[in-house]
Amino acid sequence: MSEHIDPIEEQYKLLHQRLKNEQLQEFRNELLDLHLYEQGLFYVSLDEEERQQIYTYLSPKEMGDIFDVLEEETEEMPEYLEEMRPQYVSDMLSEMYTDNAVDILKQLDKTEIAKYLSLMNHEDVKEIKALLHYEDETAGAIMTTEYVSIVANQTIRSAMYLLKTEALVAETIYYVFVVDDFNHLVGVISLRDLIVHDEDELIFDVMNERVISVKVGDEQSDVARMIKDYDFLAIPVTDYDDHLLGIVTVDDIIDVIDEEATSDYSGLAGVDVDEASEHPIKAASKRLPWLITLLFLGMSTATLIGQYEALVSEASVLAVFISLITGTAGNAGTQSLAVAVRRLAVQNEKGNNFFRMILSELLTGLVTGAITGLTIFIIVGIWKHNFMLGFVIGMAMLCAITVANLAGSLIPMLMDKLGFDPAVASGPFITTLSDLTSVLIYFNIASLFMRYFIS
């Protein structure tokens, strides 16, 4: 059976050989024939010496196209820029889409930003500075200013001419936004409508006046939700006086969704999931604060168990089920936390009521706790030939799961009400808190019924 050969890997090997042999024209032709994403993957696979060759083989425009794909996702971005001549960097940034150039510049210190901006032309600097001052994770920070806008009182013929003129520098031409003489957003028209209508018709007569837009200060997660809900390819961004400032495109929203998902998962796990490529010492330094905090919280659980040492010594069988109850309650709390964080993410569109959500989670906890408790009651009763002991374990399981469910949903909701990221109420924290409450519930129930199951 023949071994499957990845054509892209073979192409990369050939490109490496072209670089090694300094075959400039062959290298250019074969690299530029690849998709931009594949060009980016090839670039990041090179060592510094090979990248230096690339800078002499490719123009700033061609390198800018590659960096448009890389954007801020590459941690080595400042290192890459340092390798290039300052003028080459400035020319490359000028050729990139403005929002992508800004994402890269935000990774640099102020002196580096000033150095590159000083070498650019005035118009490019003006556009970049306009985006640099917006707060991170807002519509203003992720929007682009490369879009096509037209005025309502022009004909479709003149609009199509303008569209053809600006198509090469615009991020998208599928939506064309309509403004008045004062740059207020008044409508939108699709490329399809421009094509199918008569060229002599006025834009005003065929445009859609009901425009869905976002404000420049809106959170990027809200913009992402809006684009998802309406299936947009792009959405206009306005200031608070409805002046059109830019657009957010779906490719940027995909990055936002990925970023938000990573952030939420990091919070739920109590660790930065992007640290996989970091040095072990640096990765450990990021994990330790959480672990030390949880260690002290865990010690309080151990201390609580110590308070019931006499009870355990009198009924040693109780010790067998401690980890079972705390583990199950912790799992239930983590499930509830995940559902609560997701529910909070969509509560604006669903209009969920805080107290209704708490009641729902309470009922869910009671149902799951009752079924789990009944199951363990039967198992322990048969296993230990002691159905009263099974009743104690089952009741403890019911109460522990119900409380863990409430904690898993209530804590992130309260954090959201207070303006904090609900994902910070991480899985490890909820699990450790569930351990504490489960032990308290378990031993109190056991002490109440001990005389019935101790022979």
User: What's the chain's average pLDDT?
Assistant: 85
pLDDT exceeds 60 at position 264: no
Local structure of residue 421 (DSSP, 8 states): -
Any domain includes 122: yes
pLDDT exceeds 60 at position 278: no
pLDDT band at 294 (very low <50, low <70, confident <90, very high): low
Determine the structural domain holding residue 154 and report its residue range: 149-249
Q: Per residue in 408-428, pLDDT tens?
A: 888 877 777 776 666 555 667
pLDDT exceeds 80 at position 250: yes
pTM for the structure as a whole: 0.61
pLDDT number for residue 349:
46
Boundary of a domain, candidates 103, 133, 163: 133
pLDDT exceeds 90 at position 137: no
pLDDT number for residue 413:
77
- Residue 350 and residue 209 in one domain: no
What is the secondary structure of 228-251 as a DSSP string?
HHHT-SEEEEE-TT-BEEEEEEHH
**Contact status, residue 256 vs residue 273, Cβ threshold 8 Å:** no
Separation CA 229–CA 17 (nearest Å): 48
* Residue 245: closest CA among 161, 322, 167, 138: 138
- Residue 332 and residue 442 in one domain: yes
pLDDT exceeds 50 at position 224: yes
Indicate if the alpha-carbon torsion angle 222, 227, 228, 230 is positive or negative.
Answer: positive
- Residue 421 and residue 311 in one domain: yes
CATH number at residue 229: 3.10.580.10
- Residue 403 and residue 445 in one domain: yes
Q: Distance of CA 370 to CAs 199, 252, 448, Å?
A: 70, 46, 20
Number of structural domains the chain divides into = 3
pLDDT number for residue 313:
82
